[in-house]
Amino acid sequence: MALSILRRSPHTVNIPSRYLAQSCSGGARVPKTYFHTTPSRELIKPYLLADIGEGITECRVVQWFVKPGDRVSQFDPICEVQSDKASVEITSRYDGVIASIHHEADEMAEVGKPLLDIDIEDDSSSPSQAPTKSTAEEIVSDDMSTATASVAANTNMPNNLSNTNPELEAKNSGLIVPAVRSMLKQHKIDIKDIAGSGKGRRVTKEDVQRHLRSRNLALKPLSSKPAAWPGAPLEDEVVSLTPIETQMFKVMTRALSIPHFGYSHSVDVTSLISLCRNFNKQPGVSSEIHGDGVSKLTALPFVMKAISQAFLRHPRLNAHLNTETSPQNPQLIVKASHNFGIAVDTPNGLLVPVVKDIQNRSILSIAEEIKRLSTLAKEGSLTPLDMSGATFTVSNIGSIGGSVVHPILVSPTVGIVAVGKVEEVPVFSQHNKDVDPSIVKREKAVLSWSADHRVLDGASVARCAQLVARVLENIESIGIGLR
């Protein structure tokens, strides 16, 4: 009788296979033809990680904003990914339901490969063709009750199909966030050993961290020897590289194939520093003329503008070396725009945003753009556009300290300069050859250049560097040549 009821039901009844197996083992067999499926009106579509910047092939998944079963609409945030250059929030391009997630938090995802799968609703189905939500729920509920009663009658099972522990079911459900699942897997912890404090006794990251602290305290022997310095490790530890450090490792490894030519020279920046100090004492004068935006002027915008002026005479230093098209016949692409990457020290590592079109910018415009990019870099909010298109690199290592450094080239650019710390030095001054020279105080900074010696010879680099020095030492002349 029960089987005939199931046979007459026009709707799909999903019964766990373990109960069907038990009913069959009890003597009564349920023919497979009595259970059928209806055509799905949903389309499972893989959501690919799009290209988020030139040269980026993989990203680290920082966090997920969704979980399997969540319904999303277009432009809803799905996850946050971190490349070696910037943090990007990925949004949905579809309306649908999250079917599955392919990566845990902190895992690396490849560009062009699926991040997750989305069930996209079939727009061809009309409301008249499908039952309403309440009607469908009533039909499925009635059929499931009938099917449950029939299986239980043949197996002497209780009508309640769920005989699991509610606490363990909540812990082991799919509602565990990816970050918690990743921590459990990394530290080889059984979720049953942790008491969840979240909603529905769900295990949270704080619960896992609390469990780790208690476990380490129990296993770690007491030591009376204090650390040499607050925060210094007491024992060896293995530390994984961050995405920025991983990319730096790859880029610097490739840089080993470039023969570097180094050139350093000392530049007298006394008049330049004096100009900056006078400007900073009277910022209101500049605001009246140029508007707000720059509250403090440094020497870096002047150095970048002087280099841009020198590149008008020595354009081959502002170029890309193309070896990919034909390794046996490389090409030097001389760039018309002067787009200078600036090295910014951030809590997450060294980032190099790009100030574009310096040849068409004023000193104040360059200073404003440096301020904007530096702020975004320290906040971790740079976009791929802010990081792309560099034709030359300027590193202001003097802001930390140090005079002479050996900057490393990053392909495909062919030149880089590092600006050292401005220092007061004694200099012999002789205005009249018939008078003994006097000693005066001057302010100087060392500029350290590196160039790709495969396409640039030392004389070309030295001439360009000396032209930059002459412009900076006669800073009042820079305004004459500005466009």
Which active-site residues does the annotation give? 453, 457
Q: Cβ(316)–Cβ(334) under 8 Å? A: yes
Write out the chain in H/E/C secondary structure. CHHHHHHHCCCCCCCCHHHHHHHHHCCCCCCHHHCCCCCCCEEEEEEECCCCCCCCCEEEEEEECCCCCCEECCCCEEEEEECCCCEEEEECCCCEEEEEECCCCCCEEECCCEEEEEEEECCCCCHHHCCCHHHHHHHHHHHHHHHHHHHHHHHCCCCCCCCCCHHHHHHCCCCCCHHHHHHHHHHCCCHHHCCCCCHHHCCCHHHHHHHHHHHHHHHCCCCCCCCCCCCCCCCCCCCCCCHHHHHHHHHHHHHCCCCEEEEEEEEECHHHHHHHHHHHHCHHHHHHHHCCCCCCCCCHHHHHHHHHHHHCCCHHHCEEEECCCCCCCCEEEECCCCCEEECEEECCEEECCEECCHHHCCHHHHHHHHHHHHHHHHHCCCCHHHHCCCCEEEECHHHCCCCCCCCCCCCCECEEEEECCCEEEEEEECCCCCCCCEEEEEEEEEEEEEEECCCCCHHHHHHHHHHHHHHHHCHHHCCCCCC
**Dihedral sign, CA of 121, 123, 128, 129?**
negative
* Residue 96, burial from CB neighbour count under 10 angstroms (0-12, 13-18, 19+): buried
State which amino acid sits at residue 204: T
CA distance 451 to 265: 15
How large is the C-alpha radius of gyration of the chain?
Answer: 34
Q: State residue 251 phi and psi, 5-degree precision.
A: -65, -45
CA proximity to 390, closest of 372, 365, 373: 373
Q: What are phi and psi of 419, to 5 degrees?
A: -95, 120
Q: Phi first, then psi: what are they for 177, rounded to 5°? A: -70, 150
d(CA 397, CA 404): 9
